Amino acid sequence: MNEILIRGGTLVTADGRQRADLLCRDGLIAEIGEGLDAGAGTEVIDAGGCFVMPGGIDPHTHLQLPMMGTVVADDFYTGTAAAAAGGTTAIIDFVGPERDQSPLEALAIWQDWADKATIDYGFHMTVAWWGARFSEEMEALVRQHGITSFKFFLAYKGGLMLPDAEIIEGFMRCRELGALAQVHAENGELIAHLQAKAIAAGITSPLGHALSRPSICEGEATGRAIAMAEIVDVPLYVVHVSAAQAADAIRHAQGRGVKVIAETLPGFLAIDDSVYRHPDFDFAAGHVMSPPYRPREHQAALWQAVQDGTLSTTGTDHCCFTKAQKQLGEHDFRKIPNGCGGIEDRLHVLWHLGVNGGRITPEQFVALTSANAAKSFNLWPRKGRLEVGADADVIVLDPARTKTLSAASQYQNTDFSVWEGMQVQGVVMHTVSRGAHLWADGDLRSEPGRGRYLPRTPFGGPYQGRV
Q: By CB under 6 A, tell whether 124 contacts ligand URP.
A: no
If binding is defined by CB under 5 A, does position 375 make contact with Zn ion?
A: no
The window from 15-23, 137-145, 246-254, 313-321 that contacts Zn ion (CB under 5 A) reads: 313-321
- Give the nearest distance from C-beta 300 to Zn ion in angstroms: 23
Q: Which of residues 156-195 bind ligand URP (CB under 6 A)?
A: 184
Cβ distance to ligand URP smaller for residue 67 or 172:
67
Q: Is residue 394 within 8 Å of 427, Cβ to Cβ? A: no
CA-to-CA dists, residue 312 to 174, 238, 371, 375, angstroms? 22, 11, 10, 11
Choose between 290 and 372: whose C-beta lies nearer to ligand URP: 290
Q: Which partner in Zn ion, ligand URP, none is near 385 (CB below 5 to 8 A by kind)? A: none
The 10 Å CB-count burial string (b at 16+, else e) for 327-338 is bbbeeebbebbb
Beta bridge partners of 7: 46
- The whole-angstrom separation of Cα 20 and Cα 26 is 20
Least distance in Å: CB of 373 to Zn ion? 14
Does position 93 interact with ligand URP (CB under 6 A)? The reply is no
Total of residues contacting ligand URP (CB under 6 A): 8
User: How many chain residues bind Zn ion (CB under 5 A)?
Assistant: 2
- Beta-strand ranges (E) seen in 357-422 are 394-404
Question: Each residue of 203-230: b (16+ CB within 10 Å) or e?
Answer: bbbbbbbbbbbbbebbbbbbbbbbebbb
CA distances from 145 to 123, 243, 264, 283 (A): 9, 34, 27, 40
Give CA–CA dist 58/94, Å, rounded. Answer: 12
Binding status of residue 62 toward ligand URP by CB under 6 A: yes
Rule CB under 6 A: say whether 338 interacts with ligand URP. Answer: yes
State yes or no: residue 290 binds ligand URP (CB under 6 A).
Answer: yes
| CA proximity to 106, closest of 118, 93, 95, 122 | 95
Count of Cβ atoms closer than 10 Å to residue 42 Cβ: 16
Q: Give the one residue of 21, 218, 317, 345 binding Zn ion; rule: CB under 5 A.
A: 317
User: Where does 129-163 have alpha helices with state H?
Assistant: 132-143
Strands 3-13 and 43-46: parallel
Q: How far is the CB of 222 from ligand URP (least distance, A)?
A: 14
| Shortest distance, position 291 Cβ to Zn ion, whole Å | 8
Q: Is the peptide bond before 97 cis (omega within 30 degrees of 0)?
A: no
Task: Give the shortest CB-398-to-ligand URP separation in angstroms.
Answer: 32
In the bound state, the residue with its beta carbon closest to Zn ion is 184
Asked if 339 is part of the footprint of ligand URP (rule: CB under 6 A), the reply reads: yes
What stretch of H or E contains 348? helix 346-350
- By the rule CB under 6 A, 91 interacts with ligand URP: no
- Taking the CA atoms of 404, 406, 408 and 411 in sequence, report the sign of the dihedral they define: positive
**Strand 423-433 with 394-404, pairing:** antiparallel
Q: Is 95 in the site for ligand URP (CB under 6 A)?
A: no
The DSSP secondary-structure symbol of 338 reads P
Residue 226: closest CA among 189, 254, 264? 254
| Smaller CB separation from Zn ion, 130 or 156 | 156
Q: How far is the CB of 210 from Zn ion (least distance, A)?
A: 16
Instruction: Kindly state the smallest distance separating residue 444's Cβ from ligand URP, in Å.
Output: 25
Q: Name which of 21 and 317 has its Cβ closer to Zn ion.
A: 317
Q: Indicate the residue among 294 and 437 with the shorter CB distance to ligand URP.
A: 294
Residue type, 112: D
| Closest residue to ligand URP using C-beta atoms | 338
Report the residue number, 32 or 113, with the smaller CB distance to ligand URP: 113
Output the smallest distance, CB 73 to Zn ion, in A: 15
Question: Quick one: 130 or 175, whose CB is closer to ligand URP?
Answer: 130
Q: Which span (29-37, 159-167, 314-322, 325-333) binds Zn ion, by CB under 5 A?
A: 314-322
CB of 319 to Zn ion, least distance (A): 6
- Closer residue to ligand URP (CB): 276 or 351: 276
- Which residues, 308 to 327, sit near ligand URP by CB under 6 A? 317, 319
At residue 75, φ and ψ (nearest 5 deg) are -95, -175
Q: Pairing between strand 28-33 and 149-153? A: unpaired
Which one, 321 or 365, has the nearer CB to ligand URP?
321
**Residues in 161-220 at the binding interface with Zn ion, rule: CB under 5 A:** 184
In the complex, the residues that contact ligand URP under the rule CB under 6 A are: 62, 184, 289-290, 317, 319, 338-339
In the complex, the residues that contact Zn ion under the rule CB under 5 A are: 184, 317
